[in-house]
Amino acid sequence: MTTPQDIIRRDVLSMTGYPVPDATGFVKLDAMENPFPLPEALAAQLGEHLAGVALNRYPAPRPAALIDKIKRVMQVPAGCDVLLGNGSDEIISMISVACAKPGAKVLAPAPGFVMYQVSAKLAQMEFVGVPLKSDLTLDADAMLAAISEHEPAIVYLAYPNNPTGTLFDEADMERIIAAAKKSLVVIDEAYQPFAQQSWMPRAGAFDNVVVMRTVSKLGLAGIRLGYLAGTPAWLAEFDKVRPPYNVNVLTQATADFLLDHVDVLDAQAAELRAERTKLAHAVGALPGTTVFPSAGNFLLVRVPDAAATFDTLLTARVLIKNVSKMHPLLANCVRLTVGSPEENAQLLAALKLVLK
């Protein structure tokens, strides 16, 4: 009898799936989601808009009107194109597949977004993680040395970085871009609504740079839409490995509608930035905590015992992310999503139970 062990790649057999815990009944502060729903009237208008979508037809593979609207609303530079994906995850996968020549490598600061490494592994590329400094800032000299040694096909720079919240120094990033002459540099701006700084205006200024974003953190995680901006020379090649019809009609219609109301989402992001400041101050006042600076909608916090903190909050029905085992630099660290004022109050009450 044939079994999966006979057919599946050995490295895949040894992998574990991406863990997503059941959050039913919990205050969900583990996945950097926007906690605010759409205003009731706007949600009703969206419902009417979606009711007219032709579910019996395949989606446009490159919806020109939606792409033009993204370019205009998100201020994509003239001369740059936009490629859509089923979230940033699919775009990362497309880049990996397109660049997976024999011996090709992927390089990124570590700790960083786990999907850079996962997608590299699935494309059978070697992943090189370059540790951040002890204060979780970018080690530019180490990055330059690693680029010289490994000559990676792809370099990822998250701006800001997940799970640390770090906004890397712009001059350091420029040095890395200049040194990576044989690499594509992907600047990942998933958390741009909370950083308020961006490389998007310079997306077409370099021969080896593309800028990746998602609407997930803006408040639309459920529709799974990511986009990549860069020169047509790069995007035309990545488009060749894009699955046909990869962005469904409901996602396209939702994005098209809400980009006309992006001021609502921007206002929610502004409220979350204010809540981030309040939460950082309150958590930092608790005994034994170190709150790292964050330009995202989350806080990385070092506590005396990450496992005990996670378990205590779980008992209090508050779900956070224990990242303490992801990398040695994250020892005893937890990641707290910035929620609504009510959610943040519940989080603080639960933290006080363990951080006495």
pLDDT in tens, 220-263: 999 999 999 999 999 999 999 999 999 999 999 999 999 999 99
* Average pLDDT of span 123-131: 97
Q: What band does 24 get if pLDDT is binned at 50, 70 and 90? A: confident
Kindly compute the dihedral angle of the four CA atoms of residues 222, 261, 199, 274, in this order, to the nearest 10 degrees: -80
Q: SS3 of 119, please?
A: helix
> Helices then strands (H, E): number in the chain?
14, 13
Task: Classify the C-alpha dihedral 24-292-196-133 as positive or negative.
Answer: negative
Instruction: Return the DSSP state at 308.
Output: H
Q: What band does 23 get if pLDDT is binned at 50, 70 and 90? A: confident
For the chain, the first-to-last Cα distance in angstroms comes to 58
Q: Measure the CA–CA gap between 149 and 165, rounded to whole angstroms.
A: 28
Q: SS3 of 25, please?
A: coil
Tokens of 175: 């040095």
* CATH 3.90.1150.10 residue spans of the chain: 4-40+263-354
Q: Measure the CA–CA gap between 347 and 349, rounded to whole angstroms.
A: 5
Tokens of 45: 């208008």
Give per-residue pLDDT as tens, 253-309.
Answer: 999 999 999 999 999 999 999 999 999 999 999 999 999 999 999 999 999 999 999
Instruction: Evaluate the omega torsion of the peptide bond into residue 4 and state whether it is cis, within 30 degrees of 0.
Output: no
- The whole-number pLDDT of residue 218 equals 85
- The whole-number pLDDT of residue 89 equals 96
Q: Which of 136, 206, 203, 150 is nearest to 178 (CA)?
A: 206
Give per-residue pLDDT as tens, 175-211.
Answer: 999 999 999 999 999 999 999 899 999 999 999 999 9
- The whole-number pLDDT of residue 356 equals 81
The alpha carbon of 206 is separated from its chain's Cα centroid by a whole number of angstroms, namely: 22
* CATH 3.40.640.10 residue spans of the chain: 57-261
- The whole-number pLDDT of residue 16 equals 85
Alpha helices in the chain (DSSP H): 4-7, 10-13, 40-51, 64-73, 87-99, 114-122, 140-150, 170-179, 192-195, 232-239, 249-258, 262-284, 306-315, 341-354
Give per-residue pLDDT as tens, 42-98.
Answer: 999 999 999 999 999 999 999 999 999 999 999 999 999 999 999 999 999 999 999
Query: Domain 57-261 - what CATH class?
Result: alpha beta
CB count in 10 Å sphere of residue 100: 19
Q: Measure the CA–CA gap between 131 and 41, rounded to whole angstroms.
A: 47
Q: SS3 of 240, please?
A: coil
Helix axes of 232-239 and 87-99: crossing angle, nearest 10 degrees: 90
Instruction: Judge whether 87 and 212 are in contact, CB under 8 Å.
Output: no
Q: Measure the CA–CA gap between 207 and 80, rounded to whole angstroms.
A: 12
Q: Which of 268, 226, 200, 345 is nearest to 33 (CA)?
A: 268
3-state secondary structure 167-219: CCCHHHHHHHHHHCCCCEEEEECCCHHHHCCCCHHHCCCCCCEEEEEECHHHH
What letters, b where the CB count within 10 A reaches 16 and e where it falls short, cover 325-356?
Answer: ebbeebebbbbbbbbbeebbebbbebbeebbe
Residues linked to residue 110 through DSSP beta bridges, in sequence order? 131
Q: Which CATH number fits domain 4-40+263-354: 3.90.1580.10, 3.40.50.300, 3.30.450.20, 3.90.1150.10?
A: 3.90.1150.10
Q: Decide if pLDDT at 19 tops 80.
A: no
- The whole-number pLDDT of residue 164 equals 98
pLDDT cut 70: percent of the chain above it: 100
- The whole-number pLDDT of residue 306 equals 97
Give per-residue pLDDT as tens, 132-166.
Answer: 999 999 999 999 999 999 999 999 999 999 999 99
pTM, two decimal places? 0.95
What's the chain's length in residues? Answer: 356
Q: Measure the CA–CA gap between 41 and 98, rounded to whole angstroms.
A: 43
